[in-house]
Chains A and B, each alone.
Chain A
Amino acid sequence: MSTAIPSAHAHAEGGQTPFLQHHFREMSQQFDAAKIGMWLFLVTEVLLFGGLFVGYGIMHARHPEAFVAAHHHLDKTMGALNTVVLLISSFTMVLSVWAAQTSRKKLLVLFLLLTLACAGTFMVVKYFEYSHKFHEGLLPGKYYSHKGDTVPGQFLFFSFYFMMTGLHGIHVLLGMAAIAWLVWRALKGHFSSLYYAPVEITGLYWHLVDLIWIYLFPLMYLIS
């Protein structure tokens, strides 16, 4: 009963690709469904992060001095570097979608790999940032052990720093897995101007991951 798996029994009539699933009438219906589905998923993602943003905002308002003091431990250069890297990755993702839409297989693989490389760079930078924090005892909640603080309550900032950047980091990793899957499918020649929905909706997801970082960066690294 593999009803949903695109395979030979799908209808390949009238300019349809073999990727039309059996319960859709035509490719455009399947494409629109995937796109609306992804937009709704992105709404849930925004609300998920929204809860954390609200929590962060309220704790910041209750402990302004502690938050300002704590944010000086963050490395602005690293943060800015990661912002640039993610912005570039969004751009290469846009180019990937364009390459898929215009059936340019080699360019599609190239741009997807570039996106993957940017995402990897982001994670490497994040790794160095995290290990530096671990080393200094700048940890969330009861594990906070940084010496020589003059302002109390800085652990609250790091609670939110690790939860928010951590949840974002998990999303970057999931995005990397999705992009790697796209590379594999692109190499098998699945995508063309007739069928590129997976590239497009992964792109939507990737732009949201980028956008969340665009908000996280000033919120965490640039408070005053």
Chain B
Amino acid sequence: MSTAAPVLHGESPKAPPSYLQAGHTIKSWLLTGDHKRIAVLYLISVSVFFFFGSLAASMIRIELVSPRGVMLESDTYNKVFTAHGIIMIFFFLIPAIPAVLGNFLLPIMIGARDLAFPRLNLLSWYLYVAGGLCGVLAIAFGGVDTGWTFYTPYSSMYSNTNVTLTIIGAFIAGFSSIATGINFIVTVHKMRAPGMTWFRLPLMVWGSYATSLIIVLGTPVVAITLLLVVMERVFHIGVFSPELGGDPVLFQHLFWFYSHPAVYIMILPAMGVINEVITCFSRKRIFGYHFIAFSSLAIAGLGFLVWGHHMFVSSQSMYQGMVFSLLSYLVAVPSAIKVFNWTATIYKGSVRFQTPFLYVLGFMGLFVVGGLTGLFLAAMSTDVHLTDTYFVVAHFHYVMAGSNLIALLAGMHYWWPKMYGRLYNKKLAAISSALIFVGFNLTFLPQFVLGSRGMPRRYFNYLPQFQDLHVASTIGSWVLAAGLFLTAAYLLASFRQPKGMAANPWGGRTLEWETTSPPTTHNFEGQPVLQHGPYDYRPEPAAVGVKELAH
């Protein structure tokens, strides 16, 4: 149902080839400057890492079926959950939405031909791959057992596993995301099409912009902190080792100064995706555009002031704890604003329950559970009880893993026709979205209960009374895995479908839907000039961008 959306330049016979057809050699991919091709490269590599991260997750879940373990030695278990955390956070959750969907869509959404620095963009992919290879090698050489948080002094002095190589991998990957962040900020400032004012930007762009600010302000701090851990291992410089006169808690401060905002690096782009999908499938202008845009910036800003809530049981004073607790409550406000605005958007909309929208509903469910359980952890008195239990594990899987993954899937299903010019099997897509939602909840809801009853995280064995809930959680992980395999299968099968598809199958009312699907290398033929903002879902909408300047 492609509405009246006039495709700029239509399918004239002399139209240039799509970006996928613009060159078929391997070199034309590996040396490309085209943000869309780099997004595809990222999609492939991010998927590979997601597969291995999930493999480690399934090993953890199988191991925990029995109170005494099933197949792994206890130190192997430590290495497996560390591998799961490091791969998923540094090589999947942080890059996934910005580097795949953001890379592909940001320039098209603002009517630009490319990101401001195409070669820097390509460099960021190579850095990502190099960092990932270091991580893979570290695992191949015997693994790491510090957990993804690398807490000192264990990581800096005592662990005799491949900490150094892993940290170098995370360090390099950090510079990859800095490169992407700088590129996005400059692009939003300088590459917008004529008429594309700040408040005509699609909200996905606002989300990517806020994410990039966090990346640029946070990543260098964690980079230097991780480097200090390496220095401590190699030279025994003394900064984090109490016996040499250093302070191990200093590491926690520096680490969480980045790593709490990193949670927003994972969730803000996810929220950006949700904005786009929810308004399109409600056929209604998004409710409270300005509130959503500014709440992204508020989250980015407040996110830097709450790191102490990870350290309520470290050496922090009670008064410090109270301040961090209060600020952590505050950060819930902008998140809640978004949820209310989404709900108001759906209200009285003409909702169409297509696959992307099913994922949006899943996202709202998971995000609300994850967000509300976060309040228990932000309150000092309950957190002292819940620290380092499965409650924390379940909470952060809801907010950063589940929400990010489901938003990524929502976005992939929404923009798949845009990226590849093909539709997937909608019936299978609906089934797998249900499997993923049910599987995820079955995996992690029992973990809230386990945690509140005192099951500590990262333990290799446990008391027999926890077994039922652990088994339920493991079964849930299988349902989740089935849903993910099904998704991979029908998305890959979509490449065998014929391409004759409307350029705008969902009737989207943002600029990226007003060019061919898939777009040409230059995105638009000529320069689109904005007539009005996005999300005009009235029955007879005017085109977002019309006219072109001769180019």
Contact = CB atoms under 8 A, between A and B. Distances in A.
A143 interface: yes
A175 interface: no
Interface stretch (A39-47, A81-89, A124-132, A207-215): A39-47
Contacts of A54: 254
A188 interface: no
B290 interface: no
Nearest to A158: B237
B237 A45 contact: no
A159 B237 contact: yes
Interface in B313-334: none
Given A48-B221, A141-B235, 18 more contacts: A3-B33, A3-B34, A3-B521, A23-B112, A25-B527, A29-B191, A33-B189, A33-B191, A36-B189, A37-B183, A44-B182, A44-B219, A44-B220, A51-B220, A51-B221, A62-B247, A140-B231, A156-B239
B527 A41 contact: no
Contacts of A41: 182
A159 B239 contact: yes
B250 interface: yes
B372 interface: no
B44 interface: no
A44 B225 contact: no
Interface stretch (B114-122, B200-208, B401-409): B114-122
Given A1-B33, A163-B237, A37 B231 contact: no
Contacts of B521: 3
Given A36-B190, A59-B239, A141-B238, A22 B113 contact: yes
Nearest to A59: B239
Interface string B54-93: 0000000000000000000000000000000000000000
A33 B117 contact: yes
B185 A52 contact: no
A136 interface: no
Interface in A174-194: none
B186 interface: yes
A40 B186 contact: yes
A176 B118 CA distance: 25
A144 B301 CA distance: 42
Nearest to A31: B190
Interface string A30-71: 001100110011011101111110110011001100000000
A142 B254 CA distance: 24
A140 B246 CA distance: 14
Given A40-B186, A40-B216, A51-B224, A33 B116 contact: yes
Given A29-B190, A44-B216, A47-B220, A37 B117 contact: yes
Nearest to A53: B224
Nearest to B194: A25
Contacts of B114: 3, 23
B232 to A, nearest CB: 8
A155 interface: yes
Max chain B C-beta neighbours (<10 A), residue from A21, A32, A37, A163? A37
B169 to A, nearest CB: 18
Interface string B283-303: 000000000000000000000
Interface string B517-532: 0000110000100000
A25 B32 CA distance: 20
A45 B521 CA distance: 34
B116 A48 contact: no
Contact of A2 (B33, B112, B527): B33
A33 B119 CA distance: 14
B235 A52 contact: no
Q: How many of chain A's residues touch chain B, expressed as a range?
A: 35 or more
B397 to A, nearest CB: 29
Max chain B C-beta neighbours (<10 A), residue from A23, A40, A52, A54? A23
B149 interface: no
A97 B181 CA distance: 28
Contacts of B33: 1-4
Contacts of A120: none
A21 B120 CA distance: 14
B231 A159 contact: yes
Given A4-B119, A48-B223, A140-B237, A23 B247 contact: no
26 contacts: A1-B28, A4-B117, A4-B119, A21-B118, A23-B114, A33-B186, A33-B189, A37-B116, A40-B182, A40-B185, A43-B216, A43-B217, A44-B219, A51-B220, A51-B223, A51-B225, A54-B254, A55-B228, A59-B238, A141-B231, A141-B232, A141-B237, A141-B238, A155-B237, A156-B239, A159-B238
B22 interface: yes
Given A40-B185, A47-B220, A47-B221, A55 B235 contact: no
Contacts of A22: 113
B384 interface: no
Interface string B231-245: 110011111000011
A155 B187 CA distance: 46
B501 interface: no
B23 interface: yes
Contact of A23 (B118, B220, B238): B118
B262 to A, nearest CB: 14
Contacts of B235: 140-143, 159
Nearest to A40: B182
Contacts of A23: 112-114, 118, 191, 522
A169 interface: no
B252 to A, nearest CB: 13
B482 interface: no
A40 B183 CA distance: 10
B216 A55 contact: no
B234 to A, nearest CB: 8
Given A55-B228, A140-B235, A4 B118 contact: yes
B238 A58 contact: no
A153 interface: yes
A163 B227 CA distance: 10
